[in-house]
């Protein structure tokens, strides 16, 4: 089941929320800023531990890693690093990887319900129609044989909501 809602990713009552992070895993603005601000220090502490161990060089674009969700209603945050939009280089496969890898991490955790923001469409400037097409197509493909029961795209503005809803 895939659905789109207008809202704030930090308020979603799902098992895992996906963070539009950067490779440092140490926070930022947009979704990243909201998740860390509302989720609290525990999330950053686990991100720091990941940087001190498995991800010394940072989380590569397209990959995903889970931490606690701290004070958020969700149980986990799955951090993924979207590609920055490029008009000269086709990075679509990296944006697809963000969704594929986040769903695989969610399934490994035993999550049943997952919420995504519109990854890469803010600071990373990816056109929202293109991002919606890639995101929804990848999630549909991954859900074919997955234990997940719900993927919710949580859109922060009407344009994104319209673009993602049109893909369902």
Contacting residues toward ligand APR, per CB under 6 A: 8-10, 20-22, 28-34, 82, 117-124, 154, 156-157, 160
Token pair of 27 as six digits: 């926070």
Q: Where are the beta strands (DSSP E) in 39-149?
A: 64-68, 76-81, 113-116
Strand partners, 17: 77, 115
User: Residue 142 CB, nearest distance to ligand APR (Å)?
Assistant: 19
Which single residue is written with the structure tokens 């509302």?
A: 38
Nearer to ligand APR, 28 or 58 (CB): 28
Nearer to ligand APR, 57 or 145 (CB): 57
User: Residue 161 CB, nearest distance to ligand APR (Å)?
Assistant: 10
Nearer to ligand APR, 55 or 156 (CB): 156
32 among known catalytic residues: yes
Please identify the residue of the shown chain whose CB is closest to the bound ligand APR.
28
User: Residue 145 CB, nearest distance to ligand APR (Å)?
Assistant: 28
Integer Cα distance of 128 and 134 in angstroms: 10
User: Residue 65 CB, nearest distance to ligand APR (Å)?
Assistant: 15
Integer Cα distance of 99 and 24 in angstroms: 19
- Please identify which of the residues 8, 15, 32, 157 carries the catalytic annotation: 32
Which pairs from 54-59 meet CB under 8 Å and 24+ separation?
55/25, 58/23, 58/24, 58/25, 59/21, 59/23, 59/25
Nearer to ligand APR, 39 or 117 (CB): 117
The contacts of residue 56 (CB under 8 Å, 6+ apart) are none
Q: Which residues are catalytic?
A: 32
């Amino acid at each position: 089941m895939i659905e789109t809602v207008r809202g704030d990713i930090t308020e979603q009552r799902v098992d895992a929320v996906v963070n539009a992070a950067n490779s440092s895993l140490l926070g930022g603005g947009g979704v990243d800023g909201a998740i860390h601000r509302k989720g609290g220090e525990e999330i950053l502490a686990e991100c720091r531990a990941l940087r001190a161990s498995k991800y010394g060089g940072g989380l590569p674009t397209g990959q995903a890693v889970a931490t606690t969700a701290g004070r958020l209603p969700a149980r986990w945050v799955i951090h993924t690093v979207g590609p920055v939009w490029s008009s000269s280089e086709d990075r679509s496969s990296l944006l697809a990887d963000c969704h594929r890898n986040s769903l695989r991490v969610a399934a490994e955790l035993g999550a049943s319900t997952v919420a995504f923001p519109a990854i890469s469409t803010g600071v990373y400037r990816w056109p929202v129609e293109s991002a919606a097409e890639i995101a929804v197509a990848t999630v549909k493909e991954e859900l074919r044989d997955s234990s997940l029961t719900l993927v919710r795209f949580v859109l922060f503005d009407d344009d994104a909501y319209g673009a993602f809803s049109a893909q369902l």
